[in-house]
Structures are given as C-alpha cells and as structure tokens.
Amino acid sequence: MSLLREKFSEVSRSLVPVVVMVILLSFTMVKVETNILLRFIVGSILLLVGLAIFLLGIDLAMTSIGDHMATELATSKTAYKVAVMSFLLGFLVTVAEPDLLILGNQVEAASGKTISAMMMVYMVSIGVGVMISLGTFRLLQSRSYPVFMAITYGVIFVLAILVSEEFLAITFDASGATTGALTTPFVLALTAGLSRIKGGKTAEENSFGMVGVMSAGPILAVMLMSILTGQEHIQGEAEAFMPATGILGPVLHELPKVFVESLVALLPLSALFFIMNFAKFKVPMRELGRIIKGLIYTLLGLALFLTGVYSGFMDMGQIIGRGIAEHYNWFLPILGFVMGTIVVLVEPAVHVLGQQIEDATGGRIPIKLIRITLSIGVGLAIAGSMLRIMIPEVKLWFFLLPGFATAILLSFFSDPVFVGIAYDAGGVASGPMTATFVLAFAQGAAAMTPGANVLVDGFGVIAMVAMTPVLSIIILGAVFQRRTLKAQREEPAMLEETVAPAPVGVGEAASYDCVLAVLNRGLSDEAIAIARDAGAGGATIIHGRGSGGHDMKFLSFEMLKEKEIVVWLIDDRISATIAANLYEKLDLGGEGGGKVFLVPALAMGLKAPGVVNGAITGPNEAPEADGEETNTPT
C-alpha cells in the first residue's frame, strides 16, 4: 500500500496543475457548460486513480516480463530467432495500443474515411516490429546508436520529399501515438534487460534508445503506404465536433468500451509471455503471482486512465482550443507553451523513463533536470504548433527538418547516454495526454482559425512534441560531454597539484592526510569545487565502473558501478575541515548517499579514523556505539 500511496502522490503533483489551468480558463477566457466542466473534474479523478494503479502494475508486471523476454532474445543462438521474436514483440505490443487506435479514428474522421483506421494501425504495427528487430540487432552487435539513427532519419528525409503535406503531418503523429501508455514501459523494460544481459562498457548507454528506434517505424510505414498506394493527397471533409452531454452518462458509456480495448491491448503480449513461460521460462510461482497481479493492476489502471481522458479531457481540449482561437487568437502560442510545460509531466511513460534513468545511471543524470528540459521542449513544440495554425505559410517541415538534422549532428558530440535518452524522451513525451487533450486542442484551434486546414495544421502537433525533446536533451548531452572532456583535460594538472600542495598559513606542512570521498556518480565535480574553496589543490577521480557484472573494490570498500571515488592529498591542518565540508554540503548522510574517509598519509603510527554512515571521527577517536555499522579503511 505504501507503494500505491507513493504513486498517488507522484501523479497528483503532476496532474493538479493541468486541472487548475483548465478550470481557470473555463472561468475567465472560455465559456464552458457546467456539465462539461463537471465531467472534466470526474475524468480528472479517474485519470489520477487510473494512472497511479497503472504505474504500480507496470512496476509489478511489465518490468519482469520485459526482463524475461530480453533474456530469451539475448541468449538466442540464431539470428533468425532474434529477428522473428523481436518483430513479434514489437508488432503485438503495438497493434492494439489504445493511443494508436485513437489517432487512427481521428485520421479516419478528419479525412472523411478516405484513410481506414485499421489499415493505419496494422501498417504502423508492422513498421514498429521491423524497427524493434533492427534495433535489437544493433544493440546486441554494439553498433553505433548515433550512426544507426542518422541513417534511419536520412531515409525518412528522402521519403518525406515524395509524400504530401497532409501525409507528412500524419506520419510523424503516428510515430508519437505509437509510444503510448502500454508500449513504452514494455520497450523500456526490454531494452534495460537486453543491456544488462549484454553488459560491457556500453551497458549504461545501451539502456536507452529503443523507444527512439521504435518511433521511426511508423514514420517509414505510413510514408511507404502513401508511396506504394499512390495516394498523395487526402480528400475528405472532417466530421463536425459534437461534445457529449451529461456528466456520468458519457463516463459510464466509455468505461466498458475502453475496458475491452485495454484488455485487447494487453492480451497478445500477456499470452505470448505465458506461452513462453510454460515452454521456456518456468518462472517461480511467487514471481508469477506478482506478474499476474501486476497485469490486473495494469488493465484496471489503463481502463480508468483512458476513460478519464476520453470522457473528460478530449471534449474539454476541443472546447478550449475553439474558444481561445475564436476570441483570443493571439494567446494561442502562450497558452500552448504553458500547456506543454505542464501536460508532459502527466504522461505515464515520462515517469517510467525517469525511474529507468535513475536506476541505470545511479543518479549521475538528475531526473529533475531531464523533466525540466522535457517541459521546456514540449512547451516550445506546442507553441510552435499554434504558430503554424495562426500562420498557414509556416509549414511543419520548417521545424522538423532543421530540428532533427541538428539533433542528429549533435548526437556525435554528445554524451552517449544522453543520445539514447533523447530519442526515448521524444517518444514518451508524445503519449496519451498529447494524443488526446493536446491534439484535440490543436484541432479545435485549427477549426476556428481562418485559413487553417484541420488535416494539415490540426495534425502535426504530436510530431512537434516528439521532435523538440530529442533536440533539447541532445543539446544538454553535448553540454555534459564538453564538461566531462574539460574535466579530463584538467585531471593531470590536478594530480600534479596534489603531489605537492601549496603550504597553508605560515611554514611548511608537517604531514598530509589522504581524504577519500565515495560518491554517487555525477557528484565528483561538485566535490572538487567544495574542496578547492576550502583550500585543497587538485584531486584524482576513480570511476567505479566494473565489467562483466562485477563490482569494484577499493581499500576493501565494495564500490558499485555507479559510484566514484575522489582522492585528495591535503595538508593535515585543513583536511578535517575539508572532509566535514564535503560531508555536509553534499548531504552524504541524506540524499547524497556517500562516505568520507580521512587517512593519515605521511604521519606513521597514527590510528586511522573510522566512518559511521558517512560521519567523520577524529584520528584517535573511536566512534560512538549507536548500533550502526562502522566502516574503517585498512
């Protein structure tokens, strides 16, 4: 229950700002009928409960299923088996993805049924299966991810020349809709499992990127569908918007239908897992019971979440889009930016990706930084989409071509881990909330803007949302990489300073202490700055990256792969002060989660100090007996 309460708290912090924003707009700028507003509030409650239960189910079921499937793929002895199984996984997890079905129905309605919803669903699912298969081979053979994505998007840019403007918007929207509430958590778990089993020095960066690979499949598939069928333009008249009436009636009408859709979405993948378990995995009963419970939670949570979105959020999105476009057209980009910065934090897959980033990097990449970057990127994407609606001469490719081209170029100069995270982030940002509320908002705005075309301008917002996180996070990765290279160039000079520290105060130092800080990855630069401010010279960083799944040991201290040791040789007159500053300012007793050792280096015969959960004791003092474990370096 504590885990469920944690999920509720996490989701409510993200959802409340969206609800507050919509209610404020309803009372100030847009006239909304009372029953629609009340239904939106009911939908918000369903969304809150459903998303919390869904995320709990993902933790219990999808992670384990992805791990077992990854083990089977990674240990397969034939390329044929890897290709078939990875294709099958990609196809089955996509063919009934609710987000994709939503988009298919919206395209069918907006095109006057000239494009079949089911034809689009099956073509996109085939594209995802093919790309998952290629992405699996890339990962297992350790091929360069930036090169792989550069080739993939190079092909996409060439095909984009051959398709019409209407198809261009729909193809990229299909890419975003594919990375929904079900597919993304599974693919993230599959990738993490493959990376862990393969191991090696690229294990961390291999934990990300498959969602980005998967996202390219729908683009290629829909473009090829347009080229092969010879359909260049979409002729048809969009259906008129008719909001549902009543408060609980639409909710009760949607719930059974959505429950069946969610059940159909989960059945193929679940059936494949149970067949594989009977034939191959032989999962222990306790774990199997947890997976079954997780699948039930996932089904229930997904049904409640999507019911809330369909019955409350989509109508409200259309109404707000129409009202703002009709009376406050100039406000569309501003509202789009604010909406984007908030809505992306409600996406279920964003939470799953954030947890995986924390697990895979050991805190080296702060989740808050990724979420802030995502919020800004998606805000700019929706603001840009509103400009497209207001100014029809501004085309979608004005944003997509330079955006993806810049991202591909920078990927070769970025921290490798950030490249995979960036492409994954582009997928997870364009999930259920974007495919429903934001897309409905854009279509409503396009319907009420003179000169705008719902098919051309109303679509494309998901494409923008999928592109800007890729670009923004790769830029962030390039900054990180530059800082890392700069630190590596400075390291020899720092080591030289450490060997002969400058004297402190009057007179030469009588002896030196060796200060060792065992830190979570990513804190070493901050630790060096803190020590330098207190009078230290340079430092040596020892990265705790093992190989083959083994952890590293240093001075009898077992060091996990995601840890770092920073070593200083410091005048003993200031060493205790520096060690205390490190412990306090890095919060090593709390979130920092590390330890500081103080070891006499040149003075012989002194007893080495102890460390009690990171607290420093004097060189001849015994730590107080408080029942806690004491670590003493040897």
Per domain, the residue ranges of the chain are: 9-239+247-485, 500-631
Q: The tokens 């954030």 sit on which residue?
A: 354
How confident is residue 601, by pLDDT bands cut at 50, 70 and 90?
low
Percent of the chain at pLDDT > 70 equals 78
Query: 520 - beta bridge partners?
Result: 563
Q: Between 103 and 119, whose confidence is greater?
A: 119
How confident is residue 291, by pLDDT bands cut at 50, 70 and 90?
very high
Q: Between 85 and 11, whose confidence is greater?
A: 85
Q: Between 571 and 620, whose confidence is greater?
A: 571
pLDDT at res. 110: 65
Average pLDDT rounded to a whole number, residues 419-425: 82
Q: The tokens 């190079």 sit on which residue?
A: 154
**Three-state DSSP state, 608:** coil
Q: 299 pLDDT exceeds 70?
A: yes
Q: 609 pLDDT exceeds 60?
A: no
Q: 64 pLDDT exceeds 90?
A: no
End-to-end CA distance of the chain: 43
DSSP string covering 217-271? HHHHHHHHHHHHHT--S----PPPP----SSHHHHHHHHHHHHHHHHHHHHHHHH
Q: The tokens 């040596």 sit on which residue?
A: 540
Strands 563-571 and 615-616: unpaired
Q: Report pTM.
A: 0.64
How confident is residue 268, by pLDDT bands cut at 50, 70 and 90?
confident
How confident is residue 592, by pLDDT bands cut at 50, 70 and 90?
low
Q: What is the sign of the dihedral through the CA atoms of 547, 553, 554 and 559?
A: positive
- Phi then psi for 97, rounded to 5 degrees? -60, 120
CATH number of 500-631: 3.30.70.120
Query: 516 - beta bridge partners?
Result: 567, 597
Residue 140 structure tokens: 């297992």
Q: Residue 592 in contact with residue 519, Cβ under 8 Å?
A: yes
Q: Compute the mean pLDDT over every residue in the chain, rounded to the nearest whole number.
A: 77
Average pLDDT rounded to a whole number, residues 176-200: 75
Q: Which of 255-269, 430-444, 445-459, 607-621 has the highest mean pLDDT?
A: 255-269
Average pLDDT rounded to a whole number, residues 500-512: 53
pLDDT at res. 500: 45
pLDDT in tens, 315-363: 888 889 889 988 888 899 999 898 888 877 776 667 667 776 766 666 6
pLDDT in tens, 461-495: 877 887 888 888 888 888 888 877 777 676 555 54
Average pLDDT rounded to a whole number, residues 140-150: 87
How confident is residue 395, by pLDDT bands cut at 50, 70 and 90?
confident
What is the C-alpha separation between 184 and 211, in angstroms, rounded? Answer: 7
pLDDT in tens, 522-548: 677 778 888 887 778 778 777 654 433
Q: Residue 429 in contact with residue 302, Cβ under 8 Å?
A: no
pLDDT at res. 292: 93
**Three-state DSSP state, 391:** coil
Average pLDDT rounded to a whole number, residues 98-106: 73
Average pLDDT rounded to a whole number, residues 589-611: 58
Say which range, 88-97, 215-224, 402-411, has the weakest mean pLDDT.
88-97
Q: Residue 305 in contact with residue 51, Cβ under 8 Å?
A: yes
Say which range, 89-98, 208-217, 251-260, has the weakest mean pLDDT.
89-98
pLDDT at res. 96: 67
pLDDT at res. 131: 92
